[in-house]
Amino acid sequence: MPVGRHIFAGGVVLAVLALGSLFVGVIDLKPSDLWQQSGALNLLLVSRAPRTIAVIITGAALAICGAILQMLVRNRFVEPMTAGTGQGAALGILLVTLFLPEASLLVKMAVAACTALASSVGFLLIVRRLPPTQPLLVPLVGMVYGGVIGAGVTFVAYQADLLQYIDVWMNGEFSGVLQGRYELLWLAAAVALLSYFAADQFAIVGMGRTASINLGLNYTQVVLIGLVALSIVTALTVVTVGMIPFVGLVVPNIISRFYGDNLRSTLPVTALTGAVFVLCSDILGRLLRYPFEIPVGTVFGVIGTGIFLWLLYVPKRHVS
Amino acid sequence: MYLKRLLFMSALLVLCSVLYMTLGAKGSWGFILPFRGQKLAALLLVGVSVSTATVLFQTITQNRILTPSIMGFDALYVLLLTLLVFVFGGQSYVQMPAIGQFLLNTGLLMAASVALFGSLLGRGRVDLMRMILTGIIFGVLFRSLTGFMQRMIDPNEYAVIQSGSFARFTQIETSLLGISTLLTLATLIVVWRVRHRLDVLALGHTAAVNLGETPKRATFLVLVLVALLVSVSTALVGPVAFLGLLVVSLAHLITPTPRHAILLPSAALVAMIVLVGGQTILERVLALSTPLSVVVDVLGGLLFLILLLKGTFR
């Protein structure tokens, strides 16, 4: 399929959505206001533009993370937010908040990324011991593994009276994104972009350990690099906007059905589709119950599980 | 057979109940006894209904991993409750008598669970992993839809119903005790009468048909009973994810027999001991603020992982 033309079309769709997103919100803002009212430009720069950028970065980065994790684990039905990485990040922030409340944002981030990495390594170690004949066991174990960590986080939060914080991290939404509160996401975007340069390596890892070593790849190193990258991105996302499950799961699957698994050519489409999906959900969430908002995690929870069931029950057609 | 163990567990349950009623009591007994008594009754009811629902469900699906809550039954109950408020509006729903609300929810849950899970379970053991995964995804879908619906309801109306409709372990809903007791008792009588048929069903589809059982009809009956029991427990204390799995696995360890005449009371006793004893320890001894359901979630989730991993290494 002509990937290039599709990327162009997707880019146009994303641009239109992003423009629309700038002018959807509680305060009425029309394009013509920008040069007529004094506060309009300010509103655009402080709230609307940061929010739109945050949504696009989050969607793209989460989709890329999902694609990478699916290669590392060699299973189509996993993603960081439902396999313990997101919950691990939440645990890290919770612990920092408890024991080092004075720590700077960067320290908090580092700790969250470390715990996210630890819990993803744990997941990978469990998955290694699962029999390859039961592919659906992997997502199942991942979800319960994530659930146990999540319950642990809730337990600690109850004891420390921090339940409200937990709510912010566990349910993704963008309504709190303002200028000065989302810039960490640019770091996530940079990490996701960097991981593109290792796309070939990840694609080879997806063929298995033996094949990778045969092809002269330092298998363990590439796996570790992948895990570190997706832990950082996940931790940054959880801290800034909260968990948005299923983006990293459904998007790479859809892309893989149409374009195959050559990550170097599919990752840009994956990122673009992820951004379009999350931006659509966010705009929907803002419009459906105007002037109130429905969190993007909830909107995408409904859409994502629907697509997941479709992926699970409608078999993949072979590419001609 | 195992009678001693059952008796021992009953004694333990009595001990737990007495401790629950008396430990750390300050103030007049005239207030404490009815206040704690209602909560104790609710915990006992929840224990019996969760454990029985789980045993029944595991019998018709012939495995020890699936439970009604893992398949999303209680999430479905909360979703239906929210849907009713959404359709009728908060005010007119609240004006309905509590019993009417409860019966309406229960009826809807029965219909929905038979429609949703009847076809899923009717296929037999095609692919257990796919079925569990579907159930978990259903659970996430139901919860997301609930959250979605709650946002769509007018905030003022939502506040009206929120306090009364969503029970938690920490604030047990006691106004429904009477009707729940009645429903649970009626269900238990039915279950007890069909206990030998359940033994036959547990042998598997082919054997059950050979012995003159009709698995399809039995699946339907069991789904209706499970829906009833899940409604009772969810209405009283809200969703409890892994409680059923935990207590039934324990019951299998304590009384390793496939006979439902032993298994059902044993599982019920374990569940009641875990709930009453756990609540006593958490609230009175350790003075933790964490609700019991969170602790049960951690332990039950770990057990689920172990069961999953062990089941495939065999």
| Percentage with pLDDT > 70 across chain A | 98
By Cβ distance, the residue of B298, B312, B313 closest to A151 is: B298
Chain B CB contacts of A136 below 8 Å: 127, 129-130, 133
The pLDDT of residue B265 is above 50: yes
Chain A CB contacts of B290 below 8 Å: 154-155, 158-159
CA atoms of A49 and A179, how far apart (whole Å): 8
Whole-model pTM above 0.90?
A: no
The pLDDT of residue B314 is above 60: no
Query: pLDDT per residue over A87-134, tens digit each?
Result: 999 999 889 888 888 888 888 888 999 999 999 999 998 888 888 777
Query: pLDDT per residue over B281-299, tens digit each?
Result: 887 777 777 777 788 888 8
The pLDDT of residue B160 is above 60: no
| Percentage with pLDDT > 90 across chain A | 21
Q: Which residues of B touch A (CB under 8 A)?
A: 127, 129-130, 132-134, 136-138, 140-141, 143-145, 147-148, 151-152, 155, 241, 288-291, 294-295, 297-298, 301-302, 304-305, 308-309, 312-313
Residue B169: how many other CB atoms lie within 10 Å: 25
Please tell me which residue of chain A has the smallest CA distance to B134.
A309
Cis peptide before A268 (omega within 30 of 0): no
Residue B179: how many other CB atoms lie within 10 Å: 16
More confident residue, A191 or B96: A191
Average pLDDT over residues B244-273: 90
| Percentage with pLDDT > 90 across chain B | 12
Please tell me which residue of chain B has the smallest CA distance to A152.
B298
Closest CA to A187 of A273, A92, A61, A288: A61
Under 8 Å between Cβ of A137 and B129:
yes
The predicted complex's ipTM stands at: 0.80
> End-to-end CA distance of chain A, in Å?
11
pLDDT of residue B123: 58
Instruction: Kindly indicate the confidence band of residue B164, based on its pLDDT and cuts at 50, 70 and 90.
Output: very low
Average pLDDT over residues B37-48: 88
Instruction: Kindly indicate the confidence band of residue B150, based on its pLDDT and cuts at 50, 70 and 90.
Output: confident
Cβ distance B302 to A148 less than 8 Å, yes or no, reads yes
Average pLDDT over residues B256-285: 88
Cβ distance A151 to B297 less than 8 Å, yes or no, reads yes
Query: pLDDT per residue over A279-304, tens digit each?
Result: 999 998 888 877 778 888 888 888 88
pLDDT of residue B140: 84
The pLDDT of residue B313 is above 70: no
pLDDT of residue A117: 93
CA atoms of B184 and A201, how far apart (whole Å): 59
Helix spans in chain B (H): 3-22, 29-61, 73-88, 90-95, 98-122, 128-152, 155-165, 177-193, 195-201, 205-210, 215-237, 243-254, 260-279, 292-313
More confident residue, A196 or B312: A196
pLDDT of residue A141: 86
pLDDT of residue B163: 47
Query: pLDDT per residue over B12-31, tens digit each?
Result: 989 988 888 887 777 777 78
The pLDDT of residue A50 is above 70: yes
More confident residue, B257 or B122: B257
By Cβ distance, the residue of B130, B141, B289 closest to A305 is: B141
CA atoms of B241 and B143, how far apart (whole Å): 13
pLDDT of residue B167: 54
Helix spans in A47-198 (H): 49-73, 85-99, 105-128, 137-160, 163-170, 184-196
